[in-house]
Chain A
Amino acid sequence: EPEVTQTPSHQVTQMGQEVILRCVPISNHLYFYWYRQILGQKVEFLVSFYNNEISEKSEIFDDQFSVERPDGSNFTLKIRSTKLEDSAMYFCASMSGLGGANTGELFFGEGSRLTVL
């Protein structure tokens, strides 16, 4: 069964360092997302990506964040200068959208746990 894969599963970094989280969405999906979940809290929307550009972003997704789909398969989230409060689980997700269908079904990866020291 197709799945969303994320790497790394866990990354530890020093405050101020740049981090890139990688995702391979399901191959024929059209919509891509990044969410984050601080331990014990809700799943927060960061950004959605469609047709090779950002379609929506939340207030959390400020200038230190960026996303790219560099090669038609990978979908990356870059955090330019990490802060302690960026420590969270980051989930990538994709949605089919084929034929214009809205199914409400996001396929999530297993997440990348980021720890900022």
Chain B
Amino acid sequence: GQSLEQPSEVTAVEGAIVQINCTYQTSGFYGLSWYQQHDGGAPTFLSYNALDGLEETGRFSSFLSRSDSYGYLLLQELQMKDSASYFCAPLSGGYNKLIFGAGTRLAVHP
């Protein structure tokens, strides 16, 4: 079967750093994606890790450890506009299937 765990809510202040963890269990694993979704909007792609290690894209970084079936999304210099839900999504299967976790709701306060 498949399982995904990530925290349901995280709160932080502007300018801070937040780490959102994700543990997964899936067969045919290719890599781990992260998506952001603002209320009422569509999910938008943030990053993808196919290999172990850290990928950096501006203020956002993502990390993967295949051996631990674990990844995280690191958001630095938080801004109010970062308030959104963040989903980890393992890429698996023969046809690039992405299954989304329950999501972590991030609230950024002044």
Contacts and interface: CB of A to CB of B under 8 A. Distances in A.
Contacts of A43: 37, 43, 87, 100, 103
Contacts of A50: 95
B30 to A, nearest CB: 5
A111 B101 CA distance: 19
B32 interface: yes
A107 B45 contact: yes
Nearest to B85: A42
A52 interface: no
B18 interface: no
A106 B95 contact: no
Contact of A45 (B30, B42, B48, B99): B99
Interface of B: 30-33, 35, 37, 41-45, 48, 50, 87, 89, 91, 93-103
